Amino acid sequence: MTENASVAEEQGLTETRARILTAAERLFGEQGYAGTSIGDISESAGVNRALIYYYFKDKRDLYRSVIQAGLDALRRILEDLAASAGSARERLSTFAKRSYRLFSLRRPMVRIIYREVMGLEEKIDLPIGDYVLDNFAKLESIIRDGIRLGEFREVDPRLAARSLLGMLNIFILEPFISGKPFPAERVVNHTVDLFCRGVAR
């Protein structure tokens, strides 16, 4: 199965639409919104321009859809964890593994989201801040479970959730800083161990 086919299956998309989104994500990440044309995306995706306009109203709509797909991928990870069994530590470990893998495989998406959050790109009608706060809330809920069940000491779940994401984010940015990512298993084990030791009773 190709990467595009797996993206399509995961997100419930047609393979063609997924191929367009994959090409657009890479180009928007590398070249920015202003520096990327529909023609560039058409050529990279191997489809004609008319087919892009069949799926997306215009370049702005495509850009918005690319960001939406990235945010939804992270949200699905957290929603799966909210419905899963296991200790708080186990669920946080799963979150760290899956989210680190997601953004390691999708570095252009990391660039796009950071540019948007920092106000360096085209402003879109998409409440990125609300998505981030909602993700914080889902992590906070896992941490509260850990406190309630005696795994973690009494800490502020809001600060703890942001601390965990902050620890992961610096490793997600490592390839852009040094050009070489740390091995995923090493990052996840280190981060979860350090975080859980910090909040342990």
Output phi, psi for 197, to 5 deg.
-65, -35
Structure tokens at 29: 């990440």
Query: In the predicted model, is pLDDT for residue 180 greater than 60?
Result: yes
pLDDT tens digits, residue range 26-54? 999 999 999 999 999 999 999 999 999 99
CB within 8 Å of 4: residues ≥ 6 apart: 15, 18, 19, 22
CB of 149 within 8 A of CB of 90? no
- At the topology level, CATH places domain 1-56 in Arc Repressor Mutant, subunit A (1.10.10)
How far apart CA 95 and CA 177 sit, in angstroms, is 23
Q: What CATH number does domain 68-199 carry, 3.40.720.10, 1.20.1250.20, 3.90.226.10, 1.10.357.10?
A: 1.10.357.10
Per-domain residue ranges of the chain: 1-56, 68-199
Burial class (CB in 10 A: 0-12, 13-18, 19+), 71: buried
C-beta separation of 22 from 7 below 8 A: yes
Query: C-alpha distances in angstroms, 128 versus 3, 29, 57, 134?
Result: 26, 17, 21, 10
Segment 74-103, tens digit of pLDDT: 889 988 888 888 899 999 999 999 999 998
**Residue 125 binned pLDDT confidence (cut-offs 50, 70, 90):** low
pLDDT confidence of 9, banded at 50, 70, 90?
A: very low
Is the distance from CB of 22 to CB of 45 less than 8 angstroms? yes
Mean pLDDT of the chain: 87
